[in-house]
Amino acid sequence: MNDALPVARLAGVRVDLHQAPVLRDLDLCLEPGEVVGLMGANGSGKSTLLSVLATLVRPTAGTVELFGRQIDATSARAARLRVALVGHSAALYDRLTLEENLRLVARLTGRSRRRVPEVLADVGLARAAGRPAIACSQGMRRRAELARVMLTEPDLLLLDEVHTGLDHDAAPLVGRVLAAVCARSGAGVLVSHEAGRVSDLCDRTVGLRSGRVETVVGR
């Protein structure tokens, strides 16, 4: 059993959107060095749960702790700098080049802009660095998102169907970024509808149904 503080702890979390419950009395703990797979049908609350962990959605009830601190309006800002979310849509400005997008991320998060060419090369985008994001394929945009993760080095990595649109050759990059997070005692959450990918990359799997944790498989 790891005695270190959990990377994230949710207790009794409820989220209502448009007066309808999306998450209900949800408890979840993410330990240092682990990757948790999140599975469930559409509408089960998976993406909302990631948004709560990313401090983008405030719970209607319950508590959220990240890195040992309870999250409120004040602490959320500092915690957000240690979290990376790769969602359904790429967080890229269409008119900026891939390199310009990452340089902007570096400036906003206090990371070194000198590493931008390095991380683009790491994901196979060195030759596309000067291409506007709008002119990139979905697979290239996904690679650029993973380059952003390498650049910012988060302690909590949230991946929402990250393999969608990612070409076969780039799929191992997902395992690389998750391993890097775990190596610095962070944690990852991987949402996927592909059970095989979850079992290969995750230490345990949490199943959601109607906003509640229904099953837990693994340690």
Read off the tokens for 166. 């990612």
Q: List pLDDT tens digits, range 40-70.
A: 999 999 999 999 999 999 999 999 999 999 9
Q: Is residue 7 part of a domain?
A: no
Q: Is residue 16 part of a domain?
A: no
Q: State the pLDDT confidence band at 219, using cuts at 50, 70 and 90.
A: low
Q: Is residue 5 part of a domain?
A: no
Q: List pLDDT tens digits, range 68-123.
A: 999 998 999 999 999 999 998 889 999 999 999 999 999 999 999 999 999 999 99
Q: Is residue 64 part of a domain?
A: no
Residue 183 has pLDDT above 60, yes or no: yes
pTM: 0.94
| N-terminal to C-terminal alpha carbon distance within the chain | 10
Residue 163 structural domain? 31-57+78-218
How far is Cα 76 from Cα 59, in angstroms, rounded to an integer? Answer: 13
For residue 215, give Cα distances in angstroms to 44, 171, 208, 218.
Answer: 13, 27, 7, 10
Q: Is residue 51 part of a domain?
A: yes
Q: Is residue 140 part of a domain?
A: yes
Residue 10 has pLDDT above 90, yes or no: yes
Residue 218 has pLDDT above 80, yes or no: no
7 close to 28: Cβ distance less than 8 angstroms: no
For residue 71, give Cα distances in angstroms to 11, 68, 198.
Answer: 12, 9, 28
Q: Is residue 13 part of a domain?
A: no
Q: Is residue 109 part of a domain?
A: yes
50 close to 85: Cβ distance less than 8 angstroms: yes
Q: State the pLDDT confidence band at 3, using cuts at 50, 70 and 90.
A: low
| Greatest Cα-to-Cα distance within the chain, rounded to the nearest angstrom | 48
Kindly report the average pLDDT of the chain as a whole number.
94
User: How do 187-191 and 61-66 pair as beta strands?
Assistant: unpaired
Q: What is the CATH number of the domain that holds 82?
A: 3.40.50.300
CA 180, chain centre distance (Å):
13
Q: Please give the single-letter amino acid code of residue 72.
A: D
Q: State the pLDDT confidence band at 1, using cuts at 50, 70 and 90.
A: very low
